A = this chain, B = another copy of it.
């Protein structure tokens, strides 16, 4: 059995859903109805993950970043198609397949199809995943629906993955929990589904709180004012980087957290807090949308200059 055939046999063992047709057909075929959410995100070695990241964690991340897009639309996962480039390391491929099986099982996401291709041995590992989900009955909230007076909420904690990346690169020390946040982000599927009916706008936070909030404001044709002191930091981050202004600005402009940003009217406040409590996750109001354009940053009422870099802009 060639190494490719071995990998494909592993994928076939994962792809037991009837719509996958045993990965032996030209395409997946499945019944769908209603509003469907579709996303496709790629991961490239050296750009989105480090050559030293464990292959199983890369598989997890490939699944998680796509499911995070579904979570941001309040959608329930239906299935996925994967594009996988072989780069001549059967051990890596096998460990990836194991991690993929674990991630798909964790999130109940059937593998329905895709493509495996040979790549030149010098090419960076390149992966793509298309995730398909069912929009909530209330409709998939857009990124563009924030209105003046809406509050901006963020789930979980901010900045952990940024320090996790520094730990993975060997340029910082810190607890394993922060490394884990970088390597194995958890898409907020349940909470996303609960928040969607309450939100004017939703998006996931992949490139940084400041940049993703600014994008939501720009798409919605409004301005956003962020309260630095309200940004939720985890105990692990505070123990590592402290809780000063510098640490907070770094957290607010770091990527890879995959939390959700939600724009919602003040009246939704109690329902939002109740949804988060039920999901067992913190949720924090971190800003206010106003008429106008652009992003402003305050610290306990004091206007601050924006950092030169609002977040990660690797790919527009």
Q: Which A positions have Cβ atoms within 8 angstroms of B? A: 2, 4-5, 7-8, 21, 24-42, 44, 46-48, 68-70, 72-73, 75, 79, 81-83, 85-86, 112-120, 122-124, 126, 128, 130, 132-133, 135, 140, 142-144, 203-204, 215, 219, 314-316
Q: How far is the CB of A70 from chain B (nearest CB, A)?
A: 7
Chain B residues, CB < 8 A from A28 = 37-39
Set of chain B residues within 8 Å of A120, measured between Cβ atoms: 44, 46-47, 124
Q: How many angstroms between the C-alpha atoms of A302 and B242 in the bound complex?
A: 82
Q: Which residue of B lies closest to A23 (CB)?
A: B316
> Cβ of B4 and Cβ of A40 under 8 Å apart?
no
A132 CB contact (under 8 Å) in B37, B38, B46: B38
- Docked Cα-Cα span, A32 to B12, in Å, equals 27
Q: Min CB distance, A86 to chain B, in Å? A: 7
Q: Are A31 and B34 in contact (CB under 8 A)?
A: yes
A sample of 11 inter-chain contacts (CB < 8 A) reads: A27-B70, A29-B135, A38-B113, A44-B123, A116-B315, A116-B316, A117-B314, A117-B315, A119-B126, A120-B124, A123-B126
Contact B24 A39, beta carbon cutoff 8 Å: no
B142 adjacent to A21 (CB under 8 Å): yes
Q: A26-B204, A46-B120 are in contact. List 19 more A-B contacts (CB 8 A).
A: A25-B143, A26-B69, A27-B69, A27-B75, A29-B73, A29-B140, A30-B35, A32-B33, A33-B34, A36-B36, A39-B113, A40-B130, A115-B128, A116-B315, A117-B314, A119-B124, A123-B126, A126-B126, A128-B128
Q: Which interface residue of A25, A113, A143 has the most chain B CB atoms within 10 A?
A: A25
The listed residue (B21, B29, B83) touching A40 by CB distance below 8 A is: B83
- When distances are taken between beta carbons in the complex, the residues of chain B under 8 Å from A27 are 37-39, 69-70, 72-73, 75, 133, 140
Would B44 and A144 count as touching, CB distance under 8 A? no
Return A50 CB to nearest CB of chain B, in Å: 13
Nearest CB in chain B to that of A315: its residue? B117
CB-CB nearest in chain B for A4? B316
In the bound complex, what is the Cα–Cα distance between A7 and B315 (angstroms)? 11
Residues in chain B near residue A69, CB distance under 8 A: 26-27
